[in-house]
Structure 1
Amino acid sequence: MSTAMGGPRVAVLRSEDRAAPLAHALVEAGAVPVLCPLIANELPADPEQRVFLAEQLAALAEGHFAWVAFTSVSTVRALVAIAGEAGEGQDTALKVSAVTKVAAVGKATARALEAAGVTVDLLPHAEHSARGLLAEWPVPEDTAFAAVLLPAADLAAPTLRDGLLERGWRPVDLMAYRTVDAPGDPELLLSVPVPGQPAVAAPSGLERLSPAELAAALAAGTLDAAILTSPSTARRVAVLLDGRESATGFIAIGPRTAKEALAHGLRVDAVAKTTDPAGLAGALAAREAAERKQP
C-alpha cells in the first residue's frame, strides 16, 4: 500500500526516546513511519536497588568480575545513568577495570560502549543475540576468577546466564532497568542519551497512533508493516489485539523477538540481519523487494 508520501506505512513501536533514529532510517528507505510507543524503560524505583546497582558498578570498576556482558543499548544507558547518580560524573562515567573483559551483543551496543570509553573485547560475528555471544564465549581459564556481571532489563531471558553456567562461569544477574507499558513514570524514565549519539527528534509531521488505534489498524491491514524491537513489544501487541488476527506483517529485530512474536500468533515477514536502525530498515526494504517480484 502506498500513501500520499509514496511509501509503505510502517508502525514504529519502540519507546519514545529510541524511536527517532529508526524513524529517520525508515524515511531514508522510502517508508512512512507511524509512531506508537508501546513500552518505556524506567530505572528501578526502589532506592535500595539503586544503591545496589551503584555498588556493583564500583565492583566492576575495581576488577571483581572476569567479564561483563551488555545485551542492549538501553543497558548501557541505564548504567551510565546510575554511575552519574553515584557521583562518578555524567555520560562517560561507566568504568570497567582493565582486568575485566567486555562483551557486547551487537554493533549498536558496542558503539555505545566505546563512546562511553569502554573497550569491547567480544562482539559476535554470526548472530547478534545471547545465543551468538554464547557461541563465541571462551571457557574460563581460572575458575577462581570466573564471575560474569550480567546487567539487563527485568524481563531479560535467562539464555545467556544459563549458557554461561553450563560453561563453568559464575554469572551475576543485575537488574539495570524495568520494561513497562508506555508512557511510564516521568520521574523514572530512562532519559540518558545513547553515548556518542546526538539527541535527534523524529521527522516532523509524522502520524501518531494510540495503542487502541494501532490494534485496529493492525487488524484492518491499514498499515503495511510494524517493527518489533523486543520480545516485550511483541507480547504487548498480542495483548492489544486481544485475540484478533493481524492483517499486517511484522519485522523483527532478531531471532528471539521473532520467536516470541510467532508464539503469540503474529506473522513475521522478515528478521533484521543487524539490530541497528539501518538493519531494520534494510529488512523492510528486502521484504518490499521480494513482494514486488511475486507474480
Structure 2
Amino acid sequence: MLLPRGGAWGEEASASVRSRGAEPIVCPLIGFEAVPIAPSLARLAAGGYAWVVVTSPRAAAALTDAAVPAATRIAAVGRATAAALRELGLEPAFVPAEESARGLLAEWPDAGPRANRADAHPEGGAGGADVLRRGRASVDDSAAPAEHPGRVLWPRSSEAAPTIREGLEALGHRVDDPVAYRTVPLAPGAEARERILAGEVDYALVTSGSVARALAAAVPAGTIPAVTIGPRTTREARAAGIHVRYEAADRNVGGMLDAIEQGREPEGE
C-alpha cells in the first residue's frame, strides 16, 4: 500500500494499514511550504472575525501561537483537523458530521451576519473573564468588537477550491481567505520507485488532488490503481490520468481501507 505522505500522518496511516494485514510503503509525494498570514492573524487577535474555518491539519498549523478571542468560534472540517486544533489548545465549536467542504456548508450553524449573536458571550459580557488562552498567546477582545459580525477567516491551501468561500458568502458572510501554505510535489525515493515499477504495490492511497497530480507525474499512467478519499479527489485523480479503483465513504484512512475490503467503487458506478 503506497502512502503518499510522511510525518505524523504517514506514521498513523502505516499503523492502520498494518492493522489490516497489509504492508505500508511510505513514499512522500507532496511537501508543504508555509506562507505567513500575519495581517489576518492580527485582525483575528483584535476580534475582527466571528469564525475561523479550518479545512485541514496543515491549515491548523497556521494558527500556532495565534491569539483567538473567546467570542471567535472555530469550525473544523473533520475529526483529523479537529485533533490538530486541539493539539494547539484550540477547541472547535463546530465539526460537521459529513467531513467535507460540502458537509461543513450544509450543516453550518450560523445563519450569517443577520443571525442573533447573543450566544457569542454566554456569560453576558465580553470582559477580561472571556479571554481564551490559545497556544502561547491570549487576548482581551472586550476593547475590539468584531469589525464585521459575519466576517470569517479561512486560512487555505494555494490549491483550495473556492467552495468554502463561495458557500459562506452565499450565507451572508464576508470571507478572508489568505493562502497559508503551498503544496509542492516531491520525487519518490529510488527504493519506492523500484518497487512501484516492479509491480509490488497494489494500491495508492490518494488523499487530495495535489497527491493525485504528484502521483501521475511520478509513475507511468496505469501503474498503480488508486483508492481515493472522496468524490472530489476521484474527479481530480481521473483528470490527472489515474485509474481510481475504490472510493472511501468516510473521508479518512480507515474509510479508504474499508473501501478496499468492501470493494466500494466510486459513486455513480
- Shorter-chain TM-score: what band? 0.7 to 0.9
Aligned to 2:201: 223
Unaligned stretches of 5+ residues in structure 1:
1-9, 45-49, 81-92, 184-207
Q: Residues of 2 paired with 1:57 and 1:261: CA distance?
A: 34
SS state of the match for residue 171, structure 1? strand
Task: Name whichever of 254-263 and 15-24 sits farther off.
Answer: 15-24
Q: Is the 8 A contact 2:3 2:26 kept in 1?
A: yes
* Structure 2: segments with no counterpart, 5+ residues: 116-147
Calculate the TM-score normalised by the size of structure 1.
Answer: 0.70
CA contact (8 A) 1:63 1:97 kept: yes
The aligned runs of 1:1-295 (5 Å cut-off) are 10-16=1-7, 18-44=9-35, 50=36, 53-80=37-64, 93-125=65-97, 127-137=98-108, 138-142=110-114, 144-182=148-186, 209-210=189-190, 213=193, 217=196, 221-241=199-219, 244-287=220-263
Aligned-pair distance for 1:211?
9.2
Q: Is the 8 A contact 2:222 2:242 kept in 1?
A: yes
Please give the secondary structure, in 1, of the residue aligned with 2:161: coil
Q: CA RMSD in A?
A: 2.6
Residue 132 of structure 1 aligns to which amino acid in structure 2? G
CA positional deviation for 1:237: 1.7
Distance verdict in 2 for CA 1:99–1:265, change over 3 Å: same
Higher relative contact order (CA 8 A, sep 6+): 1
Q: Is the 8 A contact 2:6 2:26 kept in 1?
A: no
Looking at structure 2, the residues matched to 210 and 226 of structure 1 have their Cα atoms a distance apart, in angstroms, of: 17
Cα separation, 1, equivalents of 2:66 and 2:15? 29
Question: What is aligned with 1:192?
Answer: none
- Distance (whole Å) between structure 2 residues aligned to residue 14 and residue 256 of structure 1: 19
Look up the match of 1:85: none
Post-superposition Cα deviations, 1:173-230, rounded to whole Å, max 9, x if no partner, equal 11111111227xxxxxxxxxxxxxxxxxxxxxxxx8449827x836x74421001111
Alignment-mate amino acid for residue 260 of structure 2: L
- Equivalent position amino acid for 1:140 in 2: G
Q: Across the two proteins, how many residue pairs are aligned to each other?
A: 232
Alpha-carbon offset, residue 239 of structure 1: 2.4
Give the C-alpha shift of residue 34 in structure 1.
Answer: 1.3
SS at match of 1:128: coil
AA at the equivalent of 2:234: A
Q: How many Å separate the matches in 2 of 1:252 and 1:148?
A: 30
